[in-house]
Amino acid sequence: MFKKILIANRGEIAVRIIAACREMGIATVAVYSDVDRAALHVRKSDEAYFIGPAPAAESYLRTDRILGVAKRSGAEAIHPGYGFLSENATFAQACADAGVKFIGPTPHSMEMMGSKTRARQEMEKAGVPVVPGTSRGLVSPEEGEEVAARIGYPVMLKAAAGGGGKGMRLVHSREELRSALESAQSEAQRSFGDSEVYIEKAIVNPRHIEMQVLADEHGNTVWLGERECSIQRRHQKVIEEAPSPIVDPDMRRRMGEVAAKVAQAANYTNAGTVEFLVDREKNFYFLEMNTRLQVEHPVTELTTGLDLVHLQIRIAAGEKLPFRQSDVEMRGHAIECRVYAEDPDNNYFPSPGKITLLLEPSGPGIRRDSGMYEGWNVPVDYDPLLAKLIGYGSDRQQAIMRLQRALGEYLVAGIKTNISLFQRILGDADFLEGKLDTGYLDRWLAKGNQNLASRAPEPRLPGVEKTEALEAVAAIAGGLFAVLDPVSPVGKNGSIVRMGSGPTAVPSNWKQKGRSEALR
């Protein structure tokens, strides 16, 4: 086993990986940029090294500096987390060349999955269902029109080097195709330096469901169940859950077996995720494979009882998977809310700044993976994900109730967060019924704003008086404020307003303010 691991990342995922290392008796090496000197991952690691200015291109993306730190610190392996260098095959190769183990798949697997057309070719060869379309770049608008006529409109144009929606165009008719292809190609060229664009039949309002896989370096591959990731905005996931409300045991097994086939066709090792698009008839199609640990891995950990980061490290150290497919059992339901430093009342604009007060929930069925602490300054330079709040229960309703309770206890002051958004989504009738697809959140935001304007009552959990429950939670939050800072009720903008010099100076309406703040 490794004695020391470098974590080439920051934020909650760096903290999560440090926790796993600590549990395994492995020393940790953090790296940090200028604006992350006081970040939580730096404080929690055994050693920390400065790697450059705030822009990621000059710090967290600098292969030379990170490998330099690995050498200086004597780290034998690097965990890349997600984002940054995690899916960069060149970085994985540079690690191998430097004699440092990259905790993830081989550069070969990463390259295969990095090109969407290449991945489609390989998957077709392996007999994996892909969305009807081409597995090569279009050579002319005429070819595009021909293929579209065959598979039928609407069609989706996609950048081969893409992912995340860049260079993607939905085309409804022949008339639109030529100009859509031109603009997709030029966007792909601008974004990825590669203009290759291919075509697929468009699945209308699909669900996005993904399957977790693990593969060791001895040929063993297992699948660990799906995650429903349809609640997203601008290709940014907001809520994920396991299991998916629409996947039954038979569909799960079929999806899992396809995902294992995908991994085997790519000679895949370590943790990976196979993404599927699911249509209304519950047909599922391979979309892409993410060759990293994902943000939403905790919902799989809670429903399988496995620690994915421990297993990633053991696999990278050359160990065999310590269980077989038939040993994997899924139990209960987990839902994750991604807490972002953004303002839901101002078009989800980033909201960096100092966290002046932080009250964090825990308790039955609650897991919180966080990269923040009270007094810390949230930098504007990176992804605004602050923390993940995950509710677990014996069934979906219990997971939802626990999350609602915990969200009501969560107070982040000084900056704006999207916590209030979750409280409202978790009360939405379609959400409660599991009626989700990739268009859900945009529809809900349009509808929700109307509701807000007309002050329509929010739908409730069956059997729970929501107003009562929320008021009770707000009263508790208010009580906590009284104990922690009796002279400082929360201001309307979430900042602390100094009101006087002692408890007697507290205005009579401060509790009311505390309540409205907690209900915000």
DSSP string, 38-99: T-HHHHHSSEEEEEE-SSGGGTTT-HHHHHHHHHHHT--EEE--SSTTTT-HHHHHHHHHTT
**Choice among 10, 16, 227, 292 that is catalytic:** 292
Stretch that binds ligand MV4, among 3-11, 195-203, 303-311, 454-462 (CB under 6 A): 195-203
Q: Which of 16, 65, 208, 515 binds ligand MV4 (CB under 6 A)?
A: 208
Q: Are 326 and 349 in contact (CB under 8 A)?
A: no
Contact pick of 9, 28, 232, 269 for ligand MV4 (by CB under 6 A): 232
Task: List the one residue from 43, 72, 172, 235 that touches ligand MV4 (CB under 6 A).
Answer: 235
Residues near ligand MV4 (CB under 6 A), total: 18
Position among 85, 92, 131, 406 found at the interface with ligand MV4 (CB under 6 A):
131
Q: Is 338 a catalytic residue?
A: no
Minimum distance from CB of 501 to ligand MV4 (Å)?
A: 53
Residue with the two structure tokens 């069956």: 462
Which has the closest alpha carbon to 446: 471, 428, 469? 428
Q: Min. distance of Cβ 430 from ligand MV4 in angstroms? A: 17
Tell me 323's DSSP state.
Answer: S
Neighbours of 411 (CB within 10 A): 22
State the minimum distance, in angstroms, from the CB of residue 91 to ligand MV4: 22
> Which positions from 149 through 178 interact with ligand MV4, judged by CB under 6 A?
156, 163-165, 168
Which residue lies nearer to ligand MV4 by CB, 208 or 405? 208
Among residues 35, 180, 202, 477, which is the contact residue for ligand MV4, using CB under 6 A?
202
Q: Is 239 in the site for ligand MV4 (CB under 6 A)?
A: no
List the interface residues with ligand MV4, window 20-39 (CB under 6 A): none
Q: Could you tell me the smallest distance in angstroms from the CB atom of residue 384 to ligand MV4?
A: 19
Residues composing the chain:
520
Place of tokens 């297993």: 311
- Residue window 462-491: x/- pattern of binding to ligand MV4, with contact defined by CB under 6 A: ------------------------------
Instruction: Give the C-alpha separation, 314 to 317, whole Å.
Output: 5
Instruction: Give the C-alpha separation, 4 to 17, whole Å.
Output: 12
238 lies in the binding site for ligand MV4 (CB under 6 A): no
By CB under 6 A, residue 206 contacts ligand MV4: yes
What is the rounded distance in angstroms from the CA atom of residue 71 to the CA atom of residue 66? 9
Toward ligand MV4, which CB reaches closer, 109 or 438? 438
3-class SS of residue 107: helix
Q: Does 277 bind ligand MV4 (CB under 6 A)?
A: yes
Least distance from C-beta 226 to ligand MV4, angstroms?
14
Among 200, 296, 336, 517, binds ligand MV4 (CB under 6 A): 200
Rounded alpha-carbon distances, angstroms, from residue 167 to 93, 156, 173? 27, 10, 18
Phi, psi values for residue 176, rounded to 5°: -85, -15
User: What is the 8-class DSSP label of residue 365?
Assistant: T
213: exposed, middle or buried (C-beta count within 10 Å: 0-12, 13-18, 19+)?
A: buried
Between 205 and 467, name the residue whose CB sits nearer to ligand MV4.
Answer: 205
Q: Counting Cβ atoms within 10 Å, is residue 456 exposed (0-12), middle (13-18) or buried (19+)?
A: exposed
What would the two tokens of residue 201 be?
A: 């039949």
Does 81 sit near ligand MV4 (CB under 6 A)? no
Query: Per DSSP, what are the bridge partners of residue 215?
Result: 221, 270
Identified binder of ligand MV4 from the candidate list 270, 312, 438, 488, rule CB under 6 A? 438
Which residues are identified as catalytic?
292
Q: Footprint of ligand MV4 on this chain (CB under 6 A)?
A: 131, 156, 163-165, 168, 200-203, 206, 208, 232, 235, 277, 287-288, 438
